[in-house]
Amino acid sequence: MKSGLKSATLVFSFLALLSACGSKNSSSPPPPPVSTVEWTWVSGSNTMRQAGTYGTQGTAASSNIPGARGYAVSWLDSSGKLWLFGGYGLDSAGNSGYLNDLWRYDPATLEWTWISGSAAAAQAGTYGTQGTAASSNVPGARSGAVSWLDSGGKLWLDGGYGYDSAGTSGYLNDLWKYDPATLEWTWISGSNIVNQAGVYGIQGTAAPSNVPGALEFSVSWRDSSGKFWLLGGNGFDSGGNFGYLNDLWEYDPATLEWTWVSGSDAANHVGVYGTQGAAASSNVPGGRDASVSWLNSGGKLWLFGGYGYDSSGYLGALNDLWEYDPATLEWTWVSGSNYEFQAGVYGTQGTAASSNIPGARYSSASWLDSSGKFWLFGGAGLASTVSTGYLNDAWKYDPATLEWTWMSGSNARGQKGTYGTQGTTASSNVPGARQGAVSWLDSSGKLWLFGGYGYDSAGNSGLLNDLWKNTR
């Protein structure tokens, strides 16, 4: 099996990701062309490894800021506030570790509020009674979880790598719900102990005993009927074996039941691509983690890249784009390669073309804009040459034309950030290359990006806490 940039280990796999690209930018690639979109550095620091400033829990302040971190999760509530939970990063004392702090950001006031969780790293979970909300309940510190927002405005959180109820670190499969109105967490399903195998049941049949195994770096969707979807990740299969997963699950928050829908109940499954553009019941993406996802207006689930298995069983960074139709239960390989470690084809910045394709990558950020276009930013992988590193290229994909457009950033790896003046939009501004950032699309259609692990304004690499807005 080929080896790649990412080290997959059972313990602290996130830390392996952090060390994979080095600690300082030693290359001097040419500057990127002037962007066709405009970025604004909104808050946080242009220097890596900043501790968090928490202030008073529940009170917004202009001085508050989450510490630098990667692999957090995010939500956007009905009032347009941005929410952030956990990740691996720096706490209020500047100590590195897994976090369980919950934050809210108001784009109208430009202020952060520390809502819940601890200002110190490495906290165990307080689960309480399953199904019962309580002010003392709180998920343990973790990174690489997934999130959903339900139709009632509740925030949902699942899995990741972190701490269970006993303070033991490992992979998690606990499902949580947070109510912003009551400020209370509820442990909904899964275990309060790490490293649990999946209980798959019968494919296509919901059951109260079904539950995905403990895992991190999955991807998620919420469909138009309010169902939650979960795919893949790095975790435990039905036999308790650890590896890259390609299982697709549906969760119904009305019935509180999981359904195993597609993919294998065994880890490390090779991708079955079929014919590009043609749906088939036998098609399925290979086991993978750290992909990105979108949901189109027709209710189809879309998946791009990640780190996992290609059609030949090789393990590496991927740039394959897939569509899943919940009505037909079929996958379609739409674009990109069925082989790992492919370089990107950038074309002309701002110009769509059928030959354009982002390079293979994982741990990118993504958005679905108000016009139904898919956006992709950065990650760890390949730019325009066959060499790996952190990326800061932004791409837009139009599912109507099936074409990619390179929108901003560089076609070379390892770019430092160009921050400009905080609060001032400029075409020369661009976030530095990074992986593990989080993203939001606000109610006015702006794209937001926070943190990750990558390059600051001086070209030094580390954990970041910079908040950016893209006006497209």
Give the model's pLDDT for residue 5: 36
Round to the nearest angstrom and report the end-to-end CA distance of the chain.
41
Matching residue, tokens 């947070």: 178
Give the model's pLDDT for residue 471: 81
Give the model's pLDDT for residue 36: 65
Give the model's pLDDT for residue 134: 98
Matching residue, tokens 């080896």: 3
Give the model's pLDDT for residue 17: 43
Query: Which residue positions in the chain have pLDDT lower than 50?
Result: 1-34
Q: Which fold has domain 13-470?
A: Neuraminidase (2.120.10)
Give the model's pLDDT for residue 37: 85
Give the model's pLDDT for residue 267: 98
User: For residue range 153-170, what is the model confidence (pLDDT) as tens digits?
Assistant: 999 999 999 999 999 999
